[in-house]
Structure 1
């Protein structure tokens, strides 16, 4: 099994996070600041060089205005429709 970062499911997650950030009207800088992280944090997340643990993902969801269960459901839908 390939590493997670090389799987299409990971790409789908990154795309969802970027979509929700933009829908929230947040820049990468604003999102990073809301999480009390360095400016480069969201850039690294969105380009796949930084992985999030479940707690960080939950925090990010709050900033983006979506619940973690909603994000997971969206991810499952994206994965299912792309197969």
Structure 2
């Protein structure tokens, strides 16, 4: 039993020391590229199509998440109970 304690403490020491190189902060050189800079021709087509869509007649959807009270009495009426992704009921 004493050997197990020694081995476990030695393993814990190795785990804390062995991973210290992985936890060092390193700067990441990322240059964000805007969609208009990636492909200007495609971006021009997209913005023209978007302007035409907005200028034309289209369906507008308005949604509201208003609970009846400021403090919901049960969880199912709280906004936190909404699913994070769509899953159909089975």
What is the TM-score normalised by the length of structure 1? Answer: 0.22
Larger radius of gyration, structure 1 or 2?
A: 2
Q: TM-score, normalised by structure 2?
A: 0.21
